[in-house]
A and B are shown apart, each in its own frame.
Chain A
Amino acid sequence: MKKRQRKVRLIRAAIQLVFFIVAPALFSTAFAGVKSIFQAIAAGQPVTWNSFLDVTGALLLITVLFGRHFCGYACAFGSLGDAMYELTLFIRQKVFHKKGRHGYPEKVVRCLQKVKYILLAFILLSIFTGWYANLQGMSPWDVFSMLTARKLPNASYKIGIILLVLILIGMCTQERFFCQFLCPMGAVFALMPILPSALFKRDRSKCPAKCGLCKKRCPAHLDIDGDTPLSGECICCHACEATCPRKNIQIGQEVEELKEEAAVSKTPVKREKSAAVSK
């Protein structure tokens, strides 16, 4: 079982590394697209399609169709978070003599997960009111993208550097700290209507009582159960799938749904409708 988890994790790490080297700016480009819409409205100009929105549109479409695999596999900042967490896992286990992964309690995680929406609203509102210019040099993303472009940020980015360091420390304390709690683009992704066929489903009837391994392993402490109000938080890391000792979890249709489909051909019509709406 451990072997399967390792394999899934290693494949993911390899893909993350490739994306980190090839396209480290995708996440900030995508958010620049979101910002450009609000900048255009704030300036009283019509919203026009631009090269930022190419990236934003493509990523949102991928997310709607296939879930947040971008977050789990391609986002450079998410990969940075994973790297920080995995590298300090060893230290945490040695120093605190704790086995396995220990993040924040579920209640705290649930509250902190709301912070990113507040942050998104704050950024977009400040763009809308023109106050955003005052935030120049405060974005930790700017500092990060400067570093990936092999350029040292100057003194005007002091606050951004401090915030980046704080985020890096936070990343060590909880898996996917930034993505769940702070990422404004993550907030946009989490609000997207992800097709139910792209969500992780669990066949509860096969689960042994008091197992809950998947929830313990999930970086976002999610109950894996298809379409729920929190299903947008899933970053498609596939850890639950690899952890489940009974292989109960998989992306796609629920088992009972499959049965339903076989019995009555009513469900496919429903599915088609939902697909048409999201397009």
Chain B
Amino acid sequence: MKYHSFYMRVLCLILIIGAVLGYNFMQKNDTQAQEITELTDRVSALEEQQQEMLTALEDAAKAQEEAKAAAANASSKETAGDITAADSSNADISDADNVYKDGTYTGEAQGFGGTIQVQVTLASDEITDIQVTSAPGEDSAYLSQGEGVISSILSAQSTDVDTISGATFSSTGIINAVVDALGKAEN
């Protein structure tokens, strides 16, 4: 047959792509099934809670009626209500108590092929934003892969996170640059 090996390879390629897509589809189904079970669990828990609250309310209503009856019996007696003043000493969290000063700080560290510079924004001891401002030595594909570490730093609120496999140097560089910036922000 003409182009025999070409057609064989097309077939193999389609099989491989199909396998990956099938795997992704199964993964999606799995996560959906998991989400559904989680949601049903939550719903049943909520229903239980609701039930408990209802019974509690009923109990409370009963108790109130009983109390009313008791009060009618002893209406002559005066009840002294003591007023408690809730002292709202809501102390202002001053900046001086924080570990880090608020603001935007830049930090630098070695990436794969040079210095990576990041900009870290802090607000009341929380890392709110991390931007890579310059990374001239980094290969763009590796850098954008390594930038995945930013979201894990933000969600963990810590630089003690795993590096991105495949872009170890770039992600390590970003982590170290954030550490550097945090060091500058320390009170």
Chain A residues within an 8 Å CB radius of B12? 191, 193
Cβ–Cβ contact A274 & B3, under 8 A? yes
B144 touches A51 (CB 8 A): yes
The interface residues of chain A, by DSSP majority, are classed as helix
Within the complex, which residue of B10, B20, B24 is in contact with A277, where a contact is CB–CB below 8 Å?
A: B10
Q: Say yes or no: B166 contacts A227, CB within 8 Å.
A: no
Chain A residues with a Cβ closer than 8 Å to the other chain, count: 36
- Encode B97-132 as 1/0 by CB contact (under 8 A) with A: 000000000000000111000000000000000000
Query: Given A46-B24, A196-B3, A227-B4, are A151 and B145 also a contact pair (CB < 8 Å)?
Result: no
Q: Which residues of B contact A46 (CB under 8 A)?
A: 23-24, 27-28, 31
* A-contacting residues, B8-26, CB 8 Å: 9-10, 12-14, 20, 23-24
Interface size on B, residues (CB 8 A): 30
> A149 and B5 in contact (CB under 8 A), knowing A29-B141, A29-B142?
no
List residues of chain B with CB within 8 A of the CB of A45: 27
Contact B5 A228 (CB under 8 A): yes
A249 within 8 A of B: no
Q: How far is the CB of A69 from chain B (nearest CB, A)?
A: 17
> B145, A193: Cβ atoms under 8 Å?
no
A51, B141: Cβ atoms closer than 8 Å? yes
Contact A196 B6 (CB under 8 A): yes
Complex contact B20–A192 (CB within 8 A) = no
Asked if A229 lies at the interface with its beta carbon under 8 angstroms from chain B, I say: yes
Using A41-B23, A50-B144 as known contacts, list a sample of 16 further A-B pairs with CB atoms less than 8 Å apart, ordered by residue number in A.
A25-B139, A25-B142, A29-B141, A36-B166, A46-B27, A46-B28, A51-B142, A52-B166, A149-B137, A191-B9, A193-B12, A194-B6, A196-B3, A231-B5, A277-B7, A277-B14
